[in-house]
Amino acid sequence: MTDSTRFEPWDMLRTYAEAGEQQELEAFVEAIGPSEAFRSLLRLSPGERELVLTTLSPTEAADFMEEIPHEHAADFIEQLSVISAASIISEMESAEKADVLADMENQEAEAILAEMTPESAADARELIRYSRDMAGGLMVTEYLAFPETALVRDALEGLSEWVEKRPEQDAHVYIVSSAGTLVGGIDLQSLVLSRRTSPLSSIIKPARFVSVNFGLDELGSMFECHQLPAVAVVDDHQKLLGVLRRDDLNRALQERADADHLKSQGIVGGDEIRSMPVLTRTRRRLSWLSLNILLNIIAASVIALYEETLSAVIALAVFLPIVSDMSGCSGNQAVAVSMRELSLGIVKPYEAARVWLQEVKVGLINGFVLGCLIALAAFIWKGNPYLGIVVGIALMCNTLVAVSLGGTIPLLLKRLKVDPAVASGPILTTVTDMCGFFLVLSVATIFLPKLTAM
């Protein structure tokens, strides 16, 4: 006999929370992991969700919030009382704390900040000032800093306290002047092996640092050149403000790539999950789809101009979508490469001419090969060599157009301060469709006597 009753994870969350069994609830959340816990919370009602989060200890709830997208963490925390929300946010890491508060309504964020300790609230307000795509918005303010006059034993005592309070966080040790400016860093191995009475200045090493205003592209290039786990973040006066860790930068780069991918598919306004309000999701998608209707009407109007040619050689209708789709694929490959190079800082927006020349080389070869393949297919299908010539020439020329546009449009849009992730796709699709239809039908019009003779 098998028990047919099956308890889903959200049922278990609800059961433990309603019974007030904090330890059991925390153990269960840890066992299923943050991803499954996030999925399960979305299945609960707002009231049940609040009960689960408040049954967890503030530390455990904060650890969970740090593992889910910050905009969704902000939504969860906004449903709690101000006191409960403040207790959870106070336990979060500085950068995560700032991200969550930044995604809340100003009034609610200020109410939570008012319940936090003055030091923690001031720290959060300072970080909120910086954009998430800058070093200041990615750095953490948890680090160890000692004056130049400190001894090795002072640093070891500070390190011991750090490990006791933050056992899971790596310690980054820096030396600062009396004015708080960065002087250098300390290697932990050297610290442990040095005499306790030695001054820290005797084992100090140069510390690599970045400006608080560095953007993701600059940071990505720097971390790619230097294999470091973290770097110091300083202001214009070299004052030490925080630490930027490689893992945090990698996550930010991945989040930007995910956001760009969503934008390229017409989902704008941030991450979308299906638990969001239907009207919110509908509005985000329609903003792109409505524009796309107009662009497709423009492309379709080209066909209407050559209605007589299409009526005379109906076989052309089979090749119209093939030519436009294949060219679009080639163009999207070029867009992807340009977007990648822009994100890495390998290419600059003003280098559109150089990028175009590089894409033309690829487009000529690929266009010739693809044109020959589709020409052969058309000839085998209909036995008319002129049909193959028409579609082959059209595909070859349109491939050249597509890669030229795909390579340069992102750079030109970036230079115009327009988000290339949103606009590149619709522009490329419309132009390649229009050019593809125009090339097939106009070349067919030239060869029309030959196409209808056989």
Per-residue pLDDT reduced to its tens digit, 282-330: 766 666 667 677 777 877 788 888 888 888 888 888 888 889 888 888 8
The amino acid present at 426, given as its one-letter code, is: P
Q: Is the dihedral of CA 399, 402, 406, 409 positive or negative?
A: positive
Q: What are the residue ranges of helices labelled H in 116-245?
A: 118-128, 135-138, 152-165, 188-193, 216-225
430: closest CA among 328, 336, 335?
A: 328
Give me the pLDDT at residue 168, please: 66
Which residues are within 8 A (CB) of 395 and not within 5 positions of it... i.e. 6 or more apart?
322, 323, 326, 327, 367, 370, 371, 374, 436
pLDDT in tens, 403-421: 999 899 889 888 887 767 6
- Tokens representing 245 are 């860790």
Spatial separation of the C-alpha atoms in residues 106 and 300, rounded to whole Å:
47
Rounded average pLDDT over 346-355: 86
Encoded tokens for 25: 């609830």
Domains recognised in the chain with CATH numbers: 9-129 (1.25.60.10), 144-264 (3.10.580.10), 278-453 (1.10.357.20)
DSSP characters for 239-285?
BEEEEEEHHHHHHHHHHHHHHHHHHHTT--SS---TTS-HHHHHHHH
End-to-end alpha-carbon separation of the chain, Å? 74
C-beta neighbour count of 205 within 10 angstroms: 10
Residue 174 β-bridge partners:
145, 185
Q: What is the pLDDT of residue 201?
A: 84
pLDDT for res 365: 93
User: What's the mean pLDDT when you consider all of the chain?
Assistant: 84
Selection from 439, 438, 444 nearest residue 313 by Cα: 444
Q: What is the DSSP letter of 212?
A: T
Backbone angles phi, psi at 178, to 5 degrees: -65, -20
The SS3 of residue 39 is helix
Distance in angstroms (rounded) separating the CA atoms of residues 329 and 350: 25
